[in-house]
Structure 1
Amino acid sequence: MRTVLHTKELPEGERFDFWLDHMFRRVVAPMMITCDDPASFRGSIESMDLGAVHVSAVEASPCGAHRTPRMIRRSDPELLQLAFNLRGETAIAQDRRRALSRPSNMVLYHSSRPHQIRTGFGKGDTYGVMMVFPARLLPLPAHKVERLTATVLSGREGIGALISGFLTRLVNGTDQYGTADRSRLGAVLTDLLTALLAHRLDADAALRPTTRQRVLLLRVHTFIQRHLTDPHLSPATIAAAHAVSVRTLHRLFQTQDATVAEWIRDRRLEHCRRDLCDPALGDRPIHAIATRWGFSSPAHFTRAFSAAYGVTPQDYRRRHRLDHVLARHAWSPSRRPDETAPPAGR
């Protein structure tokens, strides 16, 4: 993500005024901001555009905000906003409801209707993720979605856990995404939120087939990641866990670049590769690493690893260990900054 604003770079007396100006004039749905202690205010925003979806990680001192009917009449982009709490508490009021959101909770609200937000309650900074997108992207009746504004949505279980995990990886990751990748990520997020809201509204029948398919695929991917260490993980066990047939599961993976078995194998190989690079696991036998990640046969693991990376696991570990030693030697604290390594042969 890229940093859009960080108040620590400003003089203390100017931080809250700058934050207020930014939030009122430059955010997608302007709001009036108040703060109990402007002199000690701290805030930062990092953001990422995912096609029509905008995701921001926001950290701020305790403050309040409200969007009035006058503001709505002046400018209304008709946006839905999902606030996902990672630290602290946030209260959001809209449509005669008030939701108190704690870590791992999510709350939905709409820019077209007045709302109030209060963060921190004097107990320290809050940190969370904001997902903002056009309301028209949700293929659900607007009057039904209104039933869920300012209500707490759990990010710990079911589809809510998929959304919270997805958002957390986005804000914590260092991956660089192309324009097409970002648009696909935005589509996945809106599909997940649509599925979550439809589940809460008992409106699953209103979901588009493509939305149901993408949500199911992400659930399957997450299930596989959580069960990679199980040597008995197979298309049959995955299909049973998701109440679908094995044929349906295979058909689901036709949109991927790998079959179900290949997808499992590739994830396991990647975890093994990382462990072989980890100095803390340098004394662990290679077969133990393979077994840990679900490979029951050392010979099969060696063949699969060699085919994927062009080198045996043992040679890969040896090569990485040598690179690590050379890097440590090159930056040894005992060497003076202007000292260079002696030429080879001397």
Structure 2
Amino acid sequence: MSLSHAATSVLSQSNSGLSRPDRFAWFIDAVREGIAPFALSSPYSGDFTARVVSADLGATQLATFSFPALDAVRTARHIRRGDPETYMLGLIQRAPMQVAQKRETVAVRAGELVLFDTSYPLEAVFPDHGHHVVVTILRLPRASMPLPDDQVDRLLAQPLSTCSATGSLLRHLMGSALGPVADQSQTENQRLGTIAVDLAAAFLAGHIDASGFLPTETRRRALVARIGAFIEANLGDPGLTPAAIASQHHISVRTLHQLFNAEPEGVMATVRRRRLERCRQALATPSLRKQPIGVIAARWGFSSPGEFSRVFKRTYSETPRQFRDGTAAARSPR
């Protein structure tokens, strides 16, 4: 078995180093520890290559499983032997699946989300399409969900569209968060976990018209996350002002600033920091070495080279040119 820690918060495991007869048993154990006990069967059980990448985000855990065709069954006996009382929200990233729970049987396509509950029997089928299945699971302890159980049960074993703003953001977070997690602090990862749970609650509430059950703080954090995604997508627009951001989200400018009062930085400080980070990344990119600094600054929304230079130096204690020259010198062979 190969095992690596990209950082203390991320665990990447593979069974490629094990003998072929031991690989399937390894994956059974990984599913039991990362999700819940299941009975698994596969036409590839004699040589079952799989990988699991997981991260502890405090309020939740996120894990991506990559594996061949597989059938999984969780029975009442499994539940009696141990139940984590957890909702599992799965993002089907590659290859479709079929899932059955509480007398509902549906097909779930790649790109869709599906919810299941470890407290009920479950059957999942991942057909053989000639390549590995990739599924990312977000663990949601039932105690963390502010929605009534009987309301959430309506969503079990249903393909959940991610076409809404919240759904799109949640899908992006689940599909890409394990990369940045490796380079973030424990505090940042715990904050990401809180955001993930809030987005999941808002996403599920939106599917059952139950937003009224969400606590005020959950709604606030979910809205801030949506605003953050909008900012990220529009950093290059010099017209990205508080008024424009507020209008896009149907709130007043005053409400926008109030939303960010509980965040580490204000809304325009967030815009400025992210623009600076993109510019700094571009200045350090060898292929962009000949691109004028003013062009880079304009691409990321700065209205003038002089303004960009002043803000950059105030933030990083050196001018953009000094930073670019310094990174180039560091790359040069000695």
2:99 matched to 1:92? Answer: yes
CA distance in 2, matches of 1:270, 1:238: 20
Counterpart in 1 of 2:22? 14
Structure 1: gaps of 5 or more residues: 331-346
Offset, 1:218:
0.5
Q: Is 169-178 or 97-106 further displaced after alignment? A: 169-178
Structure 2: gaps of 5 or more residues: 1-8
- Residue deviations 1:82-135, cap 9 Å, x none? 111221222221122223222221100001111111124343211121111311
CA distance in 1, matches of 2:142, 2:156: 12
Q: Contact 1:99/1:107 (CA < 8 Å) preserved in 2? A: no
Which letter does structure 1 place at the counterpart of 2:50? G
Partner of residue 51 from structure 1, selected from 49, 54, 58: 58
Counterpart in 2 of 1:102? 109
CA distance in 2, matches of 1:9, 1:22: 15
Q: Is 314-323 or 268-277 further displaced after alignment? A: 314-323
Counterpart in 2 of 1:133? 140
Mapping of 1:130-209 within 5 angstroms? 130-173=137-180, 175-209=182-216
Offset, 1:174:
5.1
Q: Contact 2:181/2:189 (CA < 8 Å) preserved in 1? A: no
Q: Contact 2:10/2:56 (CA < 8 Å) preserved in 1? A: no
Q: Is 265-274 or 156-165 further displaced after alignment? A: 156-165
TM-score, with length taken from structure 1: 0.89
User: Given the superposition, is the C-alpha separation of residues 3 and 261 from structure 1 closer, same or farther in structure 2, using an over 3 Å criterion?
Assistant: closer
Q: Is 268-277 or 42-51 further displaced after alignment? A: 42-51
Counterpart in 2 of 1:36? 43
Partner of residue 112 from structure 1, selected from 93, 112, 119: 119
Counterpart in 2 of 1:306? 313
Q: Contact 1:230/1:293 (CA < 8 Å) preserved in 2? A: yes
Larger radius of gyration: 1
Name the SS for the 1:8 alignment partner.
coil
Q: Contact 2:10/2:181 (CA < 8 Å) preserved in 1? A: no
Q: Contact 1:104/1:156 (CA < 8 Å) preserved in 2? A: no
2:10 matched to 1:2? Answer: yes
Q: Contact 1:64/1:116 (CA < 8 Å) preserved in 2? A: yes
CA distance in 2, matches of 1:187, 1:95: 29
CA distance in 1, matches of 2:275, 2:183: 23
Which letter does structure 1 place at the counterpart of 2:165? G
Offset, 1:264:
1.0
CA distance in 2, matches of 1:244, 1:22: 45
Counterpart in 1 of 2:291? 284
Which letter does structure 2 place at the counterpart of 1:8? S
Q: Is 109-118 or 68-77 further displaced after alignment? A: 68-77
Count of residue correspondences: 326
User: Given the superposition, is the C-alpha separation of residues 182 and 279 from structure 1 closer, same or farther in structure 2, using an over 3 Å criterion?
Assistant: closer
CA distance in 2, matches of 1:263, 1:280: 27
User: Given the superposition, is the C-alpha separation of residues 229 and 27 from structure 1 closer, same or farther in structure 2, using an over 3 Å criterion?
Assistant: closer
Backbone CA RMSD of aligned residues: 1.7
Partner of residue 267 from structure 1, selected from 264, 274, 289: 274
CA distance in 1, matches of 2:306, 2:190: 41
Q: Contact 2:10/2:182 (CA < 8 Å) preserved in 1? A: no
Name the SS for the 1:228 alignment partner.
coil
